[in-house]
Amino acid sequence: MLLINNKEVEQLLDMRSCLEALEIGYDDLLKGDAVYRSRLDVWVPCERPDGYYRWGTMEGASRQLGVFAIRMKSDIIHWPDGITEEKYCIRPGTFCGLVLLFSVRNGEPLAIINDGILQHMRVGACAGLGAKYLSRSDASVVGIFGSGGMARSYLEAFNEVRKLERVKVYSPTKAHRFAYAEEMGEKLGLQVEAVDRPEAVVRGSHIVATCTDSTQVVFGEPEWLEEGAHITCVRACEIGPKVVQRCDLSIKLGRNTVDTMDEGMVRLHGNVGYIAGQPEERSGIPNPEVDNYRGGFFDYFMDLKAQKIPGRTSPRQVTFFINSGTQGLQFAVCAGRVYQLAKEKGVGREIPTEWFLQDIRD
């Protein structure tokens, strides 16, 4: 069994390989040879009065890759300004997220993988698939809201599926957006410009992506959009209702496998889960009013991939890709690919498989 850390994942998995692994997973899903469970959260009051403990899991399996994975994360969540969501494990700056990988062929535990790099890459790669299937083939100008890890992986994915020429980025913190522009411009060999107004991100952009940790709408003005633009997001609340109404075609990545809410379940931040605590504690959790993960205004990516529904039919259409759903499958195929590469290249720390086996039937 292998223990694989973030540095090793970064060494092994590039964006092209990540995109290829996801295409394998979705091909399996079309054939009925893949399965997934969407994210489920458990909320419990923690030691800080302005925060909450949140445990999140998601699962999936791919027959072609021969793997099952469960991704687990343990966070203390808080909202220092009521707008952005901050998280940590034990102390600010440290995080706990793990992917446990198993063989579906014989049940063998294969790997424990830190999820940090995988998380950013699989989300960014899915946004890249959305751009591949929905944006104009000549899309070359990208506008990015945000300057963190997701903003980096989204741009990398767009650069894989489209021939980019120019990028504009806006983040509320000036130093962050300038640092992003310098880093990503050098990394991708692109002209990346830090702009000082949200409107400047959208005007003239063929692809617009919101990649923030905001609990509020960050882009709500449809008049800023160019004809034929493609829009995508990270969080359920980032794109305003008027922008969504402007879109000619909206596609959501996947269905929520939790279609009905059991007693005691809640929907928070676009995800379903269970919550403990007293009423006054629960009331401290900001729950965004806008939730683009719900509603009947969109079709589904798998129907688009299967050609059951038309995609973009005109260069003038405005398209919206809702980057949510199938998370468990994404972790299975991306972690499965990392494991394959680690075995081929001798990367990762070997730990005894026997540690995870027992002779008592459970």
Other residues' Cβ atoms within 10 Å of the Cβ of residue 6: 16
For residue 256, pLDDT beyond 70: no
Give residue-wise pLDDT tens across range 3-12: 999 999 999 9
**What CATH number was assigned to the domain covering residues 126-261+286-322?**
3.40.50.720
- Tell me how far apart the alpha carbons of residues 287 and 215 are, in angstroms, rounded to a whole number: 7
Same fold, 2-118+327-356 and 126-261+286-322: no
Task: Report whether 139 contacts 161 (CB < 8 A).
Answer: no
- Tell me how far apart the alpha carbons of residues 335 and 62 are, in angstroms, rounded to a whole number: 11
Can you read off the two tokens belonging to residue 99?
């992917």
pTM greater than 0.95: no
For residue 291, pLDDT beyond 80: no
Provide the residue ranges of all domains of the chain, joining segments of one domain with +: 2-118+327-356, 126-261+286-322
259 vs 53, residue with greater confidence: 53
2-118+327-356, CATH topology level? ornithine cyclodeaminase, domain 1 (3.30.1780)
- Tell me how far apart the alpha carbons of residues 208 and 202 are, in angstroms, rounded to a whole number: 6
Give residue-wise pLDDT tens across range 111-152: 999 999 999 999 999 999 999 999 999 999 999 999 999 999
Strand bridging mode 34-45 / 67-78: unpaired
Task: Report whether 327 contacts 97 (CB < 8 A).
Answer: no
Backbone dihedral angles phi then psi of residue 83, each to the nearest 5 degrees: -115, -50
Can you read off the two tokens belonging to residue 351?
């730990």
